[in-house]
């Protein structure tokens, strides 16, 4: 792996304008995420503390390439949890590790101005899909074989949300990663709570909840798609009217 061009070492980051550099408008639309999640204000304060303190030898691609590690360990610990549900605490720990590496990889690159925007966009979200798959593969170890259909259905629904995000990025050049006040961080917290409940109460509830998760997700996806197509239709009509004028 080639090292990043350490532009930040030539021009040390100015802490004063860190927010504009990390969260401001980016030349590459995929590098600028729009996140309206509930915990975003807290995350920004955390970023202000963490980013200047990341060791210089830690590169942005190091953090990105950690996601497959966490994903593989989630599968391993979930397999072990089929015999002892307390292994799900280790799954939760991997989810926490994934939060830090996934949340700060792109921000660290923008903070240091080291590049890898398009590489990071591609690899980060490819690995995020792998992370989603690892969670559902892990749950498949905990449930009877007849529940595989419901797990597959949940994977299809959540994959469709990711697909929607990338389609809207291509159509609008806005990379929105949250839906209403629910974003990636809130999803991770929900997974941690679910795993804690599984340790406490067993897997019976998970089996019954999967059809509801898939059904509610499908309804939310339909509403999201309806609003998106309406927004794009109006945008096309405004562009057409401008051409006619």
> What pLDDT digit, counting tens, does each position of 79-125 carry?
999 999 999 999 999 999 999 999 888 888 888 877 778 888 899 99
> For residue 21, what are the CA distances in angstroms to 27, 78, 130, 131, 232?
11, 39, 29, 28, 29
The pLDDT tens digits of the residues spanning 171-203 come to 888 888 888 788 889 999 999 999 999 999 999
What is the mean predicted confidence (pLDDT) over 53-60? Answer: 90
Q: How far is CA 10 from CA 15, 46, 106, in A?
A: 15, 25, 19
Percent of the chain with pLDDT over 90: 52
Strand partners, 33: 175
Q: Is the pLDDT score of 128 beyond 80?
A: yes
- 33: three-class secondary structure by DSSP: strand
Q: How confident is the model at residue 71 (pLDDT cuts 50, 70, 90)?
A: very high
> Any idea which residue has 């980060």 for tokens?
124
Choose the weakest-confidence range: 7-21, 41-55, 93-107. Answer: 7-21
> What confidence score (pLDDT) does residue 6 get?
45
Dihedral of CA atoms 211, 132, 25, 238 in degrees, nearest 10, equals: -40
| Side-chain half-sphere CA neighbours of 18 within 13 A | 20
The CA–CA distances, whole Å, from 126 to 68, 93, 157 equal: 10, 21, 17
Please state, in angstroms and rounded to a whole number, the distance separating the CA atoms of residues 141 and 82.
Answer: 6
Q: Give the residue, 166 or 18, on which the prediction is more confident.
A: 166
**Mean pLDDT for all residues in the chain:** 86
């Amino acid at each position: 792996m080639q090292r990043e061009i350490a532009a930040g070492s030539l021009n040390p980051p100015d802490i004063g304008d860190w927010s504009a550099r990390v969260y401001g408008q980016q030349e590459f639309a995929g590098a600028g995420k729009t996140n309206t999640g509930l915990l975003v204000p807290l995350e920004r304060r955390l970023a202000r503390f963490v980013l200047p303190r990341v060791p210089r030898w830690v590169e942005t691609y190091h953090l990105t390439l950690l996601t497959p590690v966490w994903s593989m360990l989630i599968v391993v610990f979930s397999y072990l949890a089929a015999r002892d549900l307390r292994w799900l605490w280790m799954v939760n720990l991997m989810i926490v590790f994934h939060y830090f590496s996934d949340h700060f990889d792109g921000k660290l690159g923008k903070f240091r101005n080291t590049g890898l925007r398009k590489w990071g966009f591609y690899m980060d979200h490819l690995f995020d899909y792998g992370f989603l798959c690892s969670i559902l593969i892990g749950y498949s170890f905990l449930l009877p074989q007849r529940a595989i259909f419901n797990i597959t259905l949940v994977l299809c629904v959540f994959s469709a949300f990711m697909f929607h995000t990338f389609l809207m990025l291509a159509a609008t050049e806005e990379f929105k990663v949250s839906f209403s006040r629910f974003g990636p961080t809130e999803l991770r917290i929900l997974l941690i709570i679910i795993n804690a409940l599984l340790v406490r109460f067993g897997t019976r509830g998970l089996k019954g909840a999967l059809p509801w998760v898939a059904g509610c997700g499908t309804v939310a996806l339909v509403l999201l798609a309806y609003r998106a197509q309406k927004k794009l239709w109006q945008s096309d009509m405004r562009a057409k009217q401008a051409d006619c004028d």
